[in-house]
């Protein structure tokens, strides 16, 4: 008799309550669920001081690597809201896209492209940055940051120089 195939885990995008990304990611890790909360360091300025603050790259979202049949486990935590859906199914992110996102953040590949060379309205092929079949449009750019609209996902990603 042939044993049934093992269920394979996939990366999914999980919406979180506002400002709960890191907390939920840590809680899910404690539950044995692999998570990734991409973040970047920004310099925030108050009236009396400046401080480096780690902020999520995808606000109110984290990536979870979980089997299809176990997706409901994340809702045992109060900060989990719902999964991102695409064409009526939970949106899956490939492992290659997750690894490319990690390397892009760690290696600062985006900064090497030169923010000053980008212009609003310019179309970018995001496959060079590790996003498969995703095109982006530059929405805003200055010397310190760039906002890119990921058209297939309908989401804006903000990159800042640290």
Q: Which domains does the chain have, with CATH numbers?
A: 8-93 (3.30.70.940), 113-162 (no CATH)
Going by C-alpha positions, the residue among 30, 27, 33 that lies closest to residue 12 is 33
Q: How far is CA 34 from CA 7, 28, 29, 77, in A?
A: 15, 7, 6, 15
Distance of CA 159 to the CA centre of its chain: 12
Phi, psi of 35 (to 5 degrees): -130, 160
Written as six digits, the tokens of 122 are 């310019």
What letter does residue 127 receive in the DSSP assignment?
Answer: G
Q: Are 52 and 40 in contact (CB under 8 A)?
A: no
For 149-156, the CB contacts below 8 A with 24+ separation are 150/126, 153/86, 153/91, 155/58
| DSSP secondary structure of 64-105 | EEEEGGGGGGGGGSTTEEEE-EETTEEPEE-HHHHHHHHHHH
3-state secondary structure 99-122: HHHHHHHHHCHHHHCCHHHCCCCC
pLDDT, tens only, 130-151: 666 667 777 777 767 777 777 6
Overall pTM > 0.75: no
Looking at residue 141, its pLDDT comes to: 76
Q: How far is CA 69 from CA 37, 39, 73, in A?
A: 22, 28, 9
How confident is the prediction along the chain (162 residues), in pLDDT tens digits per residue?
A: 554 556 789 999 999 999 999 999 999 999 999 999 988 887 888 899 989 888 888 899 999 999 999 999 999 999 999 999 988 999 998 888 888 778 777 755 455 455 557 777 877 767 666 666 667 777 777 767 777 777 666 667 766 665
């Amino acid at each position: 008799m042939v044993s049934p195939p093992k269920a394979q885990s996939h990366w999914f995008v999980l919406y979180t309550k506002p400002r709960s990304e890191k907390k939920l990611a840590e809680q899910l890790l404690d539950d044995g669920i692999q998570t990734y909360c991409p973040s970047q360091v920004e310099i925030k300025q108050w009236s009396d001081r400046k401080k480096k603050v780690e902020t999520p790259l995808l606000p109110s979202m984290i990536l979870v690597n979980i089997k299809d049949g176990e997706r409901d486990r994340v809702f045992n935590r109060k900060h989990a809201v719902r999964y991102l859906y695409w064409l009526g199914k939970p949106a899956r992110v490939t492992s290659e896209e997750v690894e490319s996102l990690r390397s892009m953040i760690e290696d600062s590949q985006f900064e090497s492209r030169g923010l000053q060379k980008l212009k609003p309205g310019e179309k970018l092929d995001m496959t060079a940055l590790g996003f498969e079949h995703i095109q982006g449009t530059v929405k805003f750019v200055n010397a310190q940051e760039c906002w890119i609209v990921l058209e297939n996902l309908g989401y804006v990603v903000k990159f800042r120089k640290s």
